[in-house]
Amino acid sequence: MISPEPQQIWVLRTSPRASAFTLVLAIGFLLTVATAPAARAQTFSLLHTFTGGNDGARPVSGLTMDRAGRLYGTTQYGGNIHLGSVYQLTRKGSGWVNNPIYSFNGNETNDGAMPYSGLTIGPDGSFYGTTYEGGGDCALSNHGCGTVYNLRPAAAACKAALCPWTETVIYRFVGGSDGANPGGGNVIFDAAGNLYGTTDNGGASGVGTVYELTPSNGGWTEKVLYTFAGGSDGTHPWGGVILDQTGNLYGTTSQGGIGCDGFGCGTVFELTPSGSGWTKKILYSFTGGRDGTDPYAGLVFDQSGNLYGATAFSGSGGGGTVFELTPSNGSWTFTLVYSLTGGQGPNYSLAIDGADNLYGTAPEGGASAGVVFRLAPAGGGWTYTALHNFTGGYDGGLPIGSPMLDADGNVYGTTYNDGANDDGTVWEITP
pLDDT at res. 162: 66
As a whole number of angstroms, the distance between CA 76 and CA 113 comes to 8
Beta strands 147-152 and 411-415: pairing type? unpaired
Architecture of domain 53-370: 7 Propeller (2.130)
Residues in the chain, pLDDT under 50 = 1-40
pLDDT at res. 12: 30
- Does residue 239 contact residue 286 with C-beta atoms inside 8 Å? no
Give me the DSSP letters along 333-393.
EEEEEEEEESS---SS--EE-TT--EEEEETT-BTTTBEEEEEEEETTEEEEEEEEE--SS
Coil/strand/helix, residue 316 = coil
Coil/strand/helix, residue 232 = helix
Query: What is the domain partition of the chain in residue ranges?
Result: 53-370
The residue type of 143 is H
Beta strands 64-65 and 71-75: pairing type? antiparallel
Please give the order of strands across the beta sheet that includes 195-199: 188-189, 195-199, 209-216, 219-227
> pLDDT tens-digit profile of 25-71?
433 333 333 333 334 458 999 999 999 999 999 999 999 999 999 99
SS3 of 138-185: the string is CCCCCCCCCEEEEEECCCCCCCCCCCCCEEEEEEECCCCCCCECCCCC
pLDDT at res. 157: 67
